[in-house]
Structure 1
């Protein structure tokens, strides 16, 4: 009889412990759900995001223009050396009215985007190969890093001799400027992939090709996108250098050509106007394409703080 009472007490004790553990798990789950709801509620509104991300650069630009105009009023420099903001705006408006600005922007964007896409197509498989095959990485890794730090303008003379004054020269310079960054960005992203993901892929029977394309590459996307962003910056700078140097022949009229023509005419207002357009395009590409893509990737991995959304 005593043993039956003891067994009953043990059962009751185990039942009580299991009930307590279940209650603790429910409280933990509820706390997690509350945290998720609080996090979602703390997401800034559209106006707050605009105020945090758009207004500061606009205010900065207005302050710079005001300081520029103040310098013109106080120092009164020669207009052919330091033009006023109104003169630069007038030069920009004149280029728009003659349709030179539209033509130059379209030509340069077409070259830059197409050359960058070619660099992605070339650099992505090379990056995967070098990241997965260690002997190849040891052999070609230093060369890729050296090409990344090599100024892209150094390729212009060779490209002119190989391709002449044609669009192929610009595309080649863009390719050589962007591809090393794409490769190194992908390699860096793959190096940060947790080994557990590879082991899971091996357990599920993934082969080398499917492992690289379906597991490693998606996991390496943050580093890969960082490499793409840097690659675009290099390709845009390389393109401007190529267009400035390779004028004439069958080369189209791009922003670099427009900049060099203004320099030959000693039109400093047009020179500054063209520089501003080149700068604005680079900023817009960053804000419209790469910044949202990075935020989406980081948010999907839970790496983005609520205030940065």
Structure 2
């Protein structure tokens, strides 16, 4: 309700497009299947890129945990790379891969992999030492120590990093698609709206992107986080 009021005030006094016009444009995009196709293409890229970033991020994070010289040499560098906006990687992607699918996937992966790796490294490294000592006294060693003690305690930090990585991947997807606008997707519709000075179409896609991000976080990540936290006793059943 508050957002609707703010929108109406922006429309009347700030030159923002009418909510009615934006909704009409969304309906038009749905009616001609443009929006449905764009969403499916964008989500496919997003899932592929994010899964790759999870695998790479986990490997980098575990290496940083196990090998001190890698953590000392790469830790601050990776933290700096994580802070870079996704759009900074777009020129590199275009130069290396051209305007194609690989360039978009690269921007998605490079934008989220560091958040995942830093979360895994931070979560595993900053465990409570007394829990580990008690587990070792009980006979836990090697993999069982990680499985039963270190990993469960690290879960909240890791999950927060994974959600942050997903947000970065989402931003990277749109940035990549806007540059490689011939590859379809939500970014292409945004680019076409800019090309034809169609503010209604631009805002319509922005609304769709916002809703998709909210729904994915609510229906996927929050449910996964709740289920895992409940399994390990971080929340009451």
Q: Report the CA distance between 1:213 and its aligned residue.
A: 5.4
Output the CA distance in 1 between the equivalents of 2:4 and 2:140.
Answer: 61
User: Does structure 1 retain, via aligned residues, the 8 Å contact 2:111–2:169?
Assistant: yes
Aligned pair in 2 of structure 1 residues 137, 203: CA closer, same or farther (>3 Å)? farther
Mapping for residues 48-87 of structure 1, pairs under 5 Å: 62-69=1-8, 72=11, 75=13, 81-87=15-21
TM-score normalised according to structure 2 size: 0.90
Q: CA deviation at 1:300?
A: 4.3
Detail structure 1 runs of 4+ shifted over 6 Å in the superposition: none
Quote the offset at 1:303 in angstroms.
Answer: 4.2
Q: Does 1:181 align with 2:115?
A: yes
- Aligned to 2:79, the other structure's residue is in SS state helix
How many angstroms does 1:260 deviate by? 0.7
Q: How far apart are 1:210 and its partner, in Å? A: 5.3
Q: Closer, same or farther in 2 for the Cα pair 1:185/1:83, shift >3 Å?
A: same
Distance in 2, Cα, partners of 1:163 & 1:298: 40
Change (3 A) 1:71 1:155: closer
Report the Cα offset of residue 218 of structure 1: 3.4
TM-score by length of 1: 0.70
Q: 2:139 aligns with which of 204, 215, 218?
A: 204
Q: How far apart are the structure 2 equivalents of 1:118 and 1:99?
A: 29
Q: How many pairs does the alignment contain?
A: 236
* Contact 2:152–2:232 (Cα < 8 Å) also in 1: no
Q: How far has the Cα of 1:302 moved from its partner? A: 4.6
Matched, 1:172 2:106: yes
RMSD between aligned alpha carbons?
Answer: 2.2
The answer to whether residue 21 in structure 2 is matched with residue 118 in structure 1 is: no
**3-state SS, counterpart of residue 150 of structure 1:** coil
Could you tell me whether the CA contact under 8 Å between 1:243 and 1:257 is conserved in 2?
yes
Cα 1:243–1:302 shift into 2, 3 Å: same
- Structure 1 or 2, whichever has the larger Rg, is 1
Asked if 1:191 corresponds to 2:125, the answer is: yes
